[in-house]
Amino acid sequence: MTAFTHRTLPQTVVLETGRASHHLGEALTTLGRHRVMLISSRRDEAAARQLTDGLDVAEHWTEVAQHVPVELAERARVATERAGADVIVCLGGGSTIGLAKAIALTSGLPIVALPTTYAGSEATPMWGLTQDRTKTTGVDDGVLPHTVIYDATYSAGLPLELTVSSALNALAHSVDSLWAPSTDPIAQALGLDGARALAAALPVLVDDPGNLAARSQCLYGAYLSAVSFTTAGSGLHHKICHVLGGTFSLPHAQTHAVVLPHVLALNAPAVPRQAERLATALGARSLDDPAAAACAALDELCRSTGAPRSLRELGMPESGLAEATERVLAVAPSSNPAPVTEERIARLLREAWAGPHPANPTGR
């Protein structure tokens, strides 16, 4: 084992089904804050109101959007200041939590997050804002939620298609953490256990979407995966998805689900030990060829759960592939296991656009 330095972020994490209101009250008491800026999507508006019944809600903001446009963030910041809020409570997925982070970035207000998807934003100090078709990300400890409350009750209404894509988005955090620029053994261990939990729970939810135990397991897996990603940083997979989402406004979770098998097929042959560990976590039947085993196990998970298969079906224009290639090359990490070349990225994006998922590693 090589020497490493691992940083653990300060955060309170609670996982319990059916007790979110109680834990929210405790979190606000601990913080000594009471005037709430409540953020949710319109879909979660009723649940958010019920959750905060009896609290001092200064403002309930329901306008959220993927990739957090700068203009939206500015409007929400002004509303927060005007309301005199001293704490942000957000109920929702990555877009909702992302907006809460955008507000915290300039206001310094603490966040209490109640995730309804498996996006994992609640476990990281990373923020993202989009302007002029370009998504900019950064790291600031001030946007890390003070408390995260996982209650499977609030993810029970997540449509099955989004459940699958969101869980695969979480799995992408695990996979990227195996080789991202700042990875270390602790991040990899957390990511692999997160992958194991997600791979076991997701097929259960496909058969029984209302299974709260499986949804709790997905929340647990998503948290571990996000924590691993926080340490490891953005690898090639996330750089690609940020380009595609910011430039072409593609749906966040579905884009991750489509791109993940292609990046794994590229990188797995270059890191056989990591590929073997991932294959084991995903329940591979044979480890004779670790890269092939990892790719096959991921492909089986994607196919059996009905995950989206191509960027084309998500609305990615074929005419945008050349621009996407250029933008990815500009941000791709030099530490990627497989050398990043224009030919390789162009081919990866072309194959992801056309679909279906690769069942075998390419290493090319």
What is the band of 4 on the pLDDT scale with cuts at 50, 70, 90?
confident
Q: Is residue 118 a contact partner of residue 167, using CB atoms and an 8 Å limit? A: yes
What lies within 8 Å, CB to CB, of 326 at 6+ separation is: none
- Structural domain boundaries in the chain: 12-155, 160-354
What is the band of 9 on the pLDDT scale with cuts at 50, 70, 90?
confident
What is the band of 3 on the pLDDT scale with cuts at 50, 70, 90?
confident
Of 47, 214, 37, 244, nearest to 130 by C-alpha is 244
What is the band of 66 on the pLDDT scale with cuts at 50, 70, 90?
confident
* Coil/strand/helix, residue 110: coil
User: What tens digit of pLDDT does each residue of 86-99 get?
Assistant: 999 999 999 999 99
3-state secondary structure 48-81: HHHHCCCCEEEEEECCCCCCCEHHHHHHHHHHHH
User: What tens digit of pLDDT does each residue of 171-188 get?
Assistant: 999 999 999 999 999 999
Mean pLDDT computed over every residue of the chain? 94
Q: Is residue 147 a contact partner of residue 153, using CB atoms and an 8 Å limit? A: no
Of 3.30.1180.20, 3.40.640.10, 1.20.1090.10, 3.40.190.10, the CATH number of 160-354 is: 1.20.1090.10
User: What tens digit of pLDDT does each residue of 12-41 get?
Assistant: 999 999 999 999 999 999 999 999 999 999
0.75 surpassed by pTM? yes
What pLDDT does residue 47 have? 96
Q: In CATH, what number does 12-155 get?
A: 3.40.50.1970
How large is the average pLDDT for residues 295-324? 95
User: What tens digit of pLDDT does each residue of 238-287 get?
Assistant: 999 999 998 999 998 999 999 999 999 999 999 999 999 999 999 998 89
